[in-house]
Amino acid sequence: MTKTDFIAALPKAELHLHIEGSLEPELLVELADRNNVTLPYASVDDVRAAYQFGNLQDFLDIYYQGMSVLLTQQDFYDLTMAYMVRSAADNVKHVEIFFDPQGHTSRGVSFDAVITGISAALSDGGKTYGISSRLILSFLRHLSQDDAFATLTRAEPYLDKLVGVGLDSSELGHPPAKFERVFARAGEMGLKLCAHAGEEGPPDYVRQALDILKIDRLDHGNRAMEDTQLVDRLIDMNMTLTVCPLSNLMLAVIPSMTASPVKTMLERGLAVTINSDDPAYFGGYMNANFNAVAAALDLSFEQLATLAGNGFRGSFLPESEIVAHLAAIDGIVRP
């Protein structure tokens, strides 16, 4: 079996996906037409040509502009269903996805339309394709902690639809400590805690995410590798890192795919996982991300199986379901 066939056959879990980042140019243009939103692009090709980023902020500017076409519950449903179709094609069996409600409520879209549309597609798509799912409300870190609190309050009637909270958007200048109180409150509400840290930010931001936000899962975490003691700590606590290879390359977090930290993380014993982040913008979904690191780093079949297993082990699924998915991976490794 080739590595590509092996990757395709592996059951996978995606733990780091921004649903707004799965908005493909074709759907972007379709929704712009449907909702009479004017975009600064003449065609789908024009949209794709604009997807060149020197850093995270370059991307975020285009990502927030893209969101402007999402207005109705049906739009959020269609967006999420398209992602479920892509996930099924990649043999992804479980997804834990972020959404950015502040990117929508700030434009006058109701919180209800956003969460109801996304949740309905997760449920319908899950049944059609046999994919389980969880939803994570992500706070925009360039906004204030008060704004995050207001968003958490809006989410209270929908707590049964949420597994956790996250922290995303512009990292530099917006350290985890800025959100200490709102993360404490989310934890009291029984929500799991995730935060992007160490994507562009220094290792100290990863320490803050651990010590101040008390996260359950670390999104990206690349720059933790600069600090040996921090790496040892992440190994000791068995912290799951959601690394996003194509995102890292496209946002110049790494200069080339051969510089991806995934293999070193595996060799050090970190619980690293592979994810697609914003696949419509970065050129590929789960299998494309697996294939990119497998080729560039010459990962072994065993390492690929470990990465897939780490996805389920690091998920917020109940233990019995994790065990079942790991057994299915074993069935691929030792048929």
Site string for ligand ADE, 274-303 (x = CB under 6 A): ---xx-------------------------
In angstroms, give the least distance from the CB of 244 to Zn ion.
6
Site string for ligand ADE, 223-262 (x = CB under 6 A): ------------------------x---------------
Number of residues that bind Zn ion (CB under 5 A): 1
Q: Looking at residues 33 to 62 of the shown chain, list those that interact with ligand ADE (rule: CB under 6 A).
A: 56
Q: Looking at residues 272 to 291 of the shown chain, list those that interact with Zn ion (rule: CB under 5 A).
A: 277
Residues with Cβ within 8 Å of 269's Cβ and at least 6 positions away in sequence, in order, are 235
Nearest to 62 by CA among 72, 45, 48, 80: 48
Exposed/middle/buried for residue 49 (C-beta within 10 Å: 0-12, 13-18, 19+):
exposed
Output DSSP code: residue 212.
T
CA angle 300, 306, 311 (to 5 degrees): 135
Exposed/middle/buried for residue 256 (C-beta within 10 Å: 0-12, 13-18, 19+):
exposed
Q: Which of 14, 24, 78, 168 is the binder for ligand ADE (CB under 6 A)? A: 168
Q: Is 104 in the site for ligand ADE (CB under 6 A)?
A: no
Catalytic residue among 199, 200, 226, 319: 199
Q: Which part of the chain contacts Zn ion (CB under 5 A), choosing from 57-65, 76-84, 271-279, 325-333? A: 271-279
Report the DSSP beta bridge partners of residue 197: 220
Q: What is the DSSP string of 257-288?
A: GGG-SHHHHHHHT-EEEE--BSHHHHT--HHH
Output DSSP code: residue 2.
-
What distance in Å separates the CA atoms of residue 37 and residue 135, rounded to the nearest whole number?
A: 27
Q: Which of 196, 217, 223, 263 is the binder for ligand ADE (CB under 6 A)? A: 196
Residue nearest to ligand ADE (CB): 168
Q: Which of 131, 137, 199, 217 is the binder for ligand ADE (CB under 6 A)? A: 199
The listed partner (Zn ion, ligand ADE, none) that binds 224, CB under 5 to 8 Å by sort, is none
Active site residue 319: no
Q: Which of 12, 14, 18, 137 is the binder for ligand ADE (CB under 6 A)? A: 18
Nearest to 137 by CA among 171, 93, 105, 181: 105
**Residue in this structure with the two tokens 């912290």, named with its chain if needed:** 239
What distance in Å separates the CA atoms of residue 76 and residue 115, rounded to the nearest whole number?
A: 8
In angstroms, give the least distance from the CB of 307 to ligand ADE.
19
In angstroms, give the least distance from the CB of 168 to Zn ion.
5
Query: What is the contact surface with ligand ADE in residues (CB under 6 A)?
Result: 18, 21, 56, 63, 168-169, 196, 199, 247, 277-278
Q: Show which residues are catalytic.
A: 199
